[in-house]
Amino acid sequence: MVAAPTPERAQDPAPAGRDARILTLIGTGHFLSHFYILCLPPLFLVWRDEFDVSYAELGLAVALMSAVTAALQTPVGFLVDRHGARPFLVGGVLLMGLSIAAMAFAPGYWAILLLALLSGVGNSVIHPADYAILGASIDKSRIGRAFALHTFTGNLGFAFGPPTVAAMLLVMDWRPALLILGLIGVPVAGAILWQSRILQDQVKAKDRGPQPSGRELLLSRPILLFFGFFLLSAMAGTAIQAFSITVLGKLWGTPVAVASLALTGYMVGATGGTLVGGWFADRSTRHFAFIVGLTFAAAALLMALGTVPLPEWMIPLVAAAAGLAMGASRTPRDVMLKEAVPPGQMGKVFGFVSSGLPLGGAITPVPFGFLIDMGLAWMVLPLTAALLLASLLCMGGAAEAARRAPPVAPLPAE
């Protein structure tokens, strides 16, 4: 059984300047973790000629990196909770960067795959370590905005990866480009190490009296329901990103340019929405009501895109509004999860629950693509809306189970 939220040890409010320094360090590492994943696809055309491999083999590099990240987040979370987050964060960022840089010297595609796997190992550290540090280091009055900026920097990494590599390939070969990009991780890891004194580790679980074991905690009802919420939300988001352009074209004959603008609007809305959600999370305790309202709004907007013939000028606006609603619901979700986690357990819980995000991205494309192949494109957006509504059932159950959980043992007197 997971413990219900209880007041933490009284602390003086942390200076906003210190919080800004912490967010800069953590956010830069998070930016790189997302950037490195999407800096590889622009190289596929070059690698196909260089190494004489198929597109399926090329896709394996990104798949390996993402799969290893998802698989290792939970065990790394256990290590973070036991030994502290800071050394793992420094090592993870360094391993990511050096793995990408070493690809510049790859003698064959097998080396690219091996290094992609190693980069995934480094990337697996980011979520459990980041959330453990943010939860312990950032003043509670600013934790919503801190989580929002963390998500925002990751989205920026995804956005900047492909165009950065494409621009570099215009002026240099792919090998020096990867060497330069990978070596950026070295000073970032150095800065985190140098400033690590301001990155606080969470209170150890053993200092809070009797606690559930890690396995009991992760298999408890609220944590499994939070995992379901993350998983279903990710499935819905992946469906939109992968197939919205195709579906709009098949349903309404929407030109590719307009449908692409709609997807861009959705992504911009989702990215900006995280900041809106962070602002709200710090100013209200009604997180669940906020999530419910936004998720219903996003589901209704997606249903409209899939069932109502809209004017072309309106399609990007509706998609952007749906993205804004989905993005704004993310930060209150993260804050609710933090409040349901017993002290000293942030690494393993956030590592486990956030692994639902890449898993959702892996599950969705094949069955939804099959629907389109079968001439059932009209089902894609309604099913996406249904996934969002199903995610609310998980969120409601998680909130109720966490509320009924027994209280956490208080900290011992110092």
Q: For 4, phi and psi rounded to 5 degrees?
A: -75, 160
Q: What CA–CA distance (Å, rounded) separates 92 from 94?
A: 5
153 vs 404: CA distance, rounded Å: 34
126-137 and 86-102 are packed helices; what angle lies between their axes, rounded to 10 degrees?
A: 140
pLDDT recorded at residue 153: 93
Query: Which residue bears the tokens 């200092």?
Result: 207
Coil, helix or strand at residue 182: helix
Amino acid at position 336, single letter: M
Quick check: 124 and 259 in contact, CB under 8 A?
no
Residues of each domain in the chain carrying CATH 1.20.1250.20 = 17-203, 215-404
Burial of 257 (0-12, 13-18, 19+ CB in 10 A): exposed
CA distance 200 to 313: 49
Tokens of 403: 């509320």
Among residues 124, 145, 139, which one has the least CA distance to residue 36? Answer: 124
Q: What confidence score (pLDDT) does residue 203 get?
A: 66
- pLDDT at position 230: 92
Tokens 């409601």: give the residue: 396
Number of neighbours of residue 54 by Cβ within 10 angstroms: 9
C-alpha to C-alpha distances, 112 to 55, 188, 358, nearest whole angstrom: 14, 23, 21
Q: Which residues of 260-283 are buried (b: 16+ CB within 10 A; e: fewer)?
A: ebbbebbbbbbbbbbbbbbebbbe
Q: How far apart are CA 406 and CA 4, in angstroms?
A: 6
Q: Which phi and psi angles does 281 have, rounded to 5°?
A: -60, -30
**What are the angstrom distances between the C-alpha of 234 and each of 52, 166, 183, 363?**
34, 27, 31, 10
Query: Do 73 and 124 meet the contact criterion of CB atoms below 8 Å apart?
Result: yes
375 phi and psi angles, rounded to 5 deg: 75, 20
CA within 13 Å, CB half, 79:
16
- Asked whether 188 and 157 are in contact (CB, 8 A), the reply is no
What is the distance between the alpha carbons of residues 108 and 330, in angstroms, rounded to a whole number?
A: 41
Q: How far apart are CA 315 and CA 255, in angstroms?
A: 11
Contact between 2 and 212 (Cβ < 8 Å):
yes
Q: First vs last Cα of the chain: how many Å apart? A: 28
State the Cα–Cα distance between residues 96 and 181, nearest whole angstrom: 11
Residue 107's contacts (CB-CB under 8 Å, 6 or more residues apart) are: none
Orientation angle between helical segments 16-38 and 86-102, nearest 10 degrees: 30
Per-residue pLDDT tens, the chain, 414 aa: give them. Answer: 444 444 443 344 557 678 888 999 999 999 999 999 888 888 888 998 899 988 778 888 888 888 888 889 999 999 998 888 899 999 999 999 999 999 999 999 999 999 999 999 999 999 999 999 998 888 888 899 999 999 999 889 888 888 899 899 999 999 999 999 999 999 999 999 998 888 887 766 555 555 677 788 898 888 999 999 999 999 998 889 888 889 999 999 999 999 999 988 998 999 999 999 999 998 988 888 999 999 999 999 999 999 999 999 999 999 999 999 999 998 898 899 888 888 888 889 999 998 888 888 878 888 898 898 899 999 999 999 999 999 999 988 888 876 766 544 444 443
CATH fold of the domain at 215-404: Growth Hormone; Chain: A; (1.20.1250)
Tokens representing 19? 């919080």
Position 210 scores a pLDDT of: 58
pLDDT value at residue 27: 92
Amino acid at 237: G
Task: Classify 17-203 by CATH class.
Answer: mainly alpha
Cβ contact 73:33 at 8 Å: no
| CA distance linking residue 184 with residue 240, whole number of Å | 32
Residue 41: burial class (beta carbons within 10 Å; 0-12, 13-18, 19+)? middle
**pTM of the full predicted structure?**
0.83
